[in-house]
Structure 1
Amino acid sequence: MKALVYEGPRQVKVADVPDARVERPTDVLVRITSTNICGSDLHMYEGRTDLETGRVLGHENLGEVVEVGAGVDRVQVGDRVCLPFNIGCGFCANCEHGRTAYCLTVNPGAAGGVYGYAGMGPYQGGQAEYLRVPFGDFNCLVLPPDAEEKEADYAMLSDIFPTGYHATELADVSVGESVVVFGAGPVGLMAAYSALLRGASKVMVVDRHPDRLQLAADIGAIPVDDSRGPAVEQVLDLTGGTGADKGCECVGYQAHDPDGREEPASTLNDLVGSVRATGAIGVVGLFLPQDPGGPDQLSREGKAVFDLGEFWFKGQRIGTGQANVKAYNRRLRALIHEGRAKPSFLVSHELPLQRGPEAYEHFDRRDEGWTKVILRP
């Protein structure tokens, strides 16, 4: 089958690889019709992880079931399904408590497995013609009859929409509250969108890319351009000096200043400064235990200079970690199906798989107009 494989830093190509197949009775084989490029794919693309060459990338996947193992009971051939990026078994202690991002069985020696991702198990990704889905009955979200009509919307259920929603859940966003989101990439835009869906009275989005800030404005958020002055000061001005009730970190360990200098803890510290006393912060931007390409020794060890004193003094609380997609995807699917949510507003390009290398180049450079890419194998 054709698949997009990692060849080294900033080198991916579409190549022939062994066909994905059913390997265990609980497996499902899916013909991929939509697979998204995620911002976290760029960490691997840029060589900032230990991903081995030859690995098929892609953890945001949707398609049609073409084969099921003998042990699959619920999912049927012909079903259109969206697949959570995190693979769960469904029966370990974490999965039973809804913490499917931290499944204890799919990646021995670690908590959690992901398709096509460094350090998250041996699973190939879905930027390919076919994908093997372990524990298919548990991991496949079967889509409604409008699956083809709204495919670009449902494709966002694999990661980006639930992850943005997870940021608001970690921050405990409630009706009528003000929210500041750092990062107007796809995750940040989905966090802002989710905050609005949850009834936030004011949502501010901090970034410095005009096209992404415009998308934030288009959904009803207030764009905050931090290239025009310190973001904390702008947020305080917009909230009468008190700060936002809640905050979401949607940038991660490659946060940098307007001049391009990496400052891994900058968004965390700016959130501490721009969220009010006793407010809450949700962190879904990726942070790693080690970052060999970090700007200093501390960051290379996965550590950061965090403003703990101010954080403690303000009585704030913080929640972190990958989204447990299955905790949210059924409810978010219902919002799409009933016309209450259209997350595909952030999709800028829908391209054939063969143009994957070109799409990675544009997305990695943050070229204007390249906000979210769907590849169509």
Structure 2
Amino acid sequence: MKAVVYEGPNKVSVKDVPDARIERPTDVLVRITATNICGSDLHMYEGRTDFEQGRWFGHENMGEVIEVGGAVQKVVVGDRVVLPFNVACGYCKNCERGLTNYCMTAQPVKEWAGAAYGFADMGPWAGGQAELLRVPWGDFNCLRLGEDADERSSDYVMLADIFPTGYHATEMAGVSPGDQTVIYGAGPVGLMAALSATIRGASKVMVVDRHPDRLRLAESIGAIAIDDSKVDPVDAVLEETMGLGADNGCECVGYQAHDPQGVEHPNETLNRLVRSVRFTGTIGTVGVFIPQDPGAHDELAKEGQIAFDFGLHWFKGQRMGTGQAPVKRYNRQLRDLIAAGKATPSFIVSHELPLDDAPDAYEHFDNRDDGWTKVVLRPGDSS
């Protein structure tokens, strides 16, 4: 089968690799019909992680079931399914508590928890930027889709990661009807957080970024765009909230946050959120932060530490939730919103391309080139 193979920093290629196959009775084999390039893939693409050369990416996956293991009872051949990026067993202590983002079975390092397809330090699971994907614990991990699965695949594929992740940010932030919510980052996850805040009834959603194409997308769903290359975003939020600050906020950037000049400041969005959110407000952090970052520009960040304004955070009595999203906690409800026409997450999609175009797509997406807001790869399509 063909797959998008990591060759080293800033280089991927489309190569033939061994076919994915059923390995255990609980496995499901999926022919991939849509797989997204994620902002998290760019951390690995740029060489900022220990992702091994020769492995292939892809944790936002959707497709058609073409084979099932002998112990699979629910999923059948022909089902259209979308796969949570979390690989989860369904029966460990964390999975039983609904924390499939921290499965203890799928992660082979016993001191760690959490696994994902095609992701650094998250188990041996192959990615789905390929023609086929092996799905372990298939009955648990497959979310079956309705008759409109192919027609609305650009919406449903967002259920693999970014739509539930954006929703998780608003859940941790406690967004409620009437709230004023600020979101730092208008990448795909930030835009999904903005959409989720709107779905949850926020009266005002403010989105901070500096890329005009992304800010236009935020405005297209009714959010207030704040360009931090032109104004101080904290001042702008305070002006929008009568000087009190937002009720809650979401961090959707992560450790590679940088200023308009391109200099990295991994603490910038977190500290701006502390200043932007009111006393006793709540912050949800889904941007990726990692325990070690050898490629960082300062010594603290190299050790996974950042200079966080904890004193002000404590003084303001704020709360913060962190971590990856437990996709299965939200994906059924969000699927049904899509099916009912209440949510159209595909508004962020800028390019739908065949798998062979992945190297060029990675380069454009990594450069944040204008108009490259979200890429869906379609194995089997031709250029």
Q: Which residue of 1 is the match for residue 248 of structure 2? A: 246
Alignment of 1:331-370 (within 5 A): 331-370=333-372
Q: Which residue of 1 is the match for residue 44 of structure 2? A: 44
Q: Does 1:104 align with 2:104?
A: yes
Q: Structure 1: which 5+ residue stretches go unaligned?
A: none
Q: Which residue of 2 is the match for residue 186 of structure 1? A: 188
Paired with 1:244 and 1:154, the residues of 2 have a C-alpha distance of: 31
Paired with 1:3 and 1:261, the residues of 2 have a C-alpha distance of: 33
Q: Which residue of 2 is the match for residue 94 of structure 1? A: 94
1:213 to 215, 229, 232: 215
Paired with 1:207 and 1:267, the residues of 2 have a C-alpha distance of: 10
What is the TM-score when the length of structure 2 is the normalising length?
Answer: 0.98
Paired with 1:3 and 1:104, the residues of 2 have a C-alpha distance of: 28
Q: Which residue of 1 is the match for residue 306 of structure 2? A: 304
Q: Which residue of 2 is the match for residue 76 of structure 1? A: 76
Aligned length: 377
Q: Which residue of 2 is the match for residue 286 of structure 1? A: 288
Alignment of 1:227-238 (within 5 A): 227-238=229-240
Alignment of 1:162-201 (within 5 A): 162-201=164-203
Q: Does 1:16 align with 2:4?
A: no
Paired with 1:79 and 1:56, the residues of 2 have a C-alpha distance of: 25
Q: Which residue of 2 is the match for residue 143 of structure 1? A: 145
CA shift digits 1:63-97 (9 cap, x unpaired): 00000000100000000000000111000111111
Paired with 2:55 and 2:320, the residues of 1 have a C-alpha distance of: 34
CA shift digits 1:313-348 (9 cap, x unpaired): 000000000000000000000000011000000000
Paired with 1:340 and 1:257, the residues of 2 have a C-alpha distance of: 35
Paired with 2:139 and 2:231, the residues of 1 have a C-alpha distance of: 50
Q: Which residue of 2 is the match for residue 29 of structure 1? A: 29
> 1:58: how far off?
0.5
Q: Which residue of 2 is the match for residue 315 of structure 1? A: 317
> 1:118: how far off?
0.5
> 1:258: how far off?
0.7
Give SS of 1:214's match. Answer: helix
Give SS of 1:304's match. Answer: coil
After TM superposition, the runs of 4+ consecutive aligned structure 1 residues lying more than 2 A away are none
> 1:108: how far off?
2.1
> 1:230: how far off?
1.2
> 1:181: how far off?
0.1
> 1:237: how far off?
0.7
Paired with 1:108 and 1:359, the residues of 2 have a C-alpha distance of: 32
Paired with 1:291 and 1:340, the residues of 2 have a C-alpha distance of: 40
CA shift digits 1:216-269 (9 cap, x unpaired): 000000000000121101110111100000000000000001111100010000
> 1:372: how far off?
0.3
2:130 to 101, 110, 128: 128
> 1:173: how far off?
0.5
Paired with 1:303 and 1:12, the residues of 2 have a C-alpha distance of: 30
Give SS of 1:276's match. Answer: strand
Q: Structure 2: which 5+ residue stretches go unaligned?
A: none
> 1:100: how far off?
0.2
Supply the AA of the counterpart residue of 1:142.
R
Give SS of 1:86's match. Answer: coil
Give SS of 1:87's match. Answer: coil
CA shift digits 1:290-323 (9 cap, x unpaired): 0010111100000000000100000000000000
Q: Which residue of 1 is the match for residue 331 of structure 2? A: 329
Supply the AA of the counterpart residue of 2:300.
L
Give SS of 2:335's match. Answer: helix
> 1:158: how far off?
0.2
> 1:5: how far off?
0.5
Query: Which deviates more from structure 2 when the two are superposed, residues 225-234 or residues 77-86?
Result: 225-234
Paired with 1:30 and 1:229, the residues of 2 have a C-alpha distance of: 47
Supply the AA of the counterpart residue of 2:282.
A
Paired with 1:108 and 1:366, the residues of 2 have a C-alpha distance of: 34
Give SS of 2:62's match. Answer: strand
Q: Does 1:271 align with 2:291?
A: no
Supply the AA of the counterpart residue of 2:64.
E
Give SS of 1:157's match. Answer: helix
Give SS of 1:228's match. Answer: coil
Paired with 2:106 and 2:188, the residues of 1 have a C-alpha distance of: 27
Paired with 2:258 and 2:9, the residues of 1 have a C-alpha distance of: 20
> 1:56: how far off?
1.0
CA shift digits 1:154-201 (9 cap, x unpaired): 000000100000000000100000000000000000000000000000
Paired with 1:4 and 1:262, the residues of 2 have a C-alpha distance of: 28
1:371 to 358, 370, 373: 373
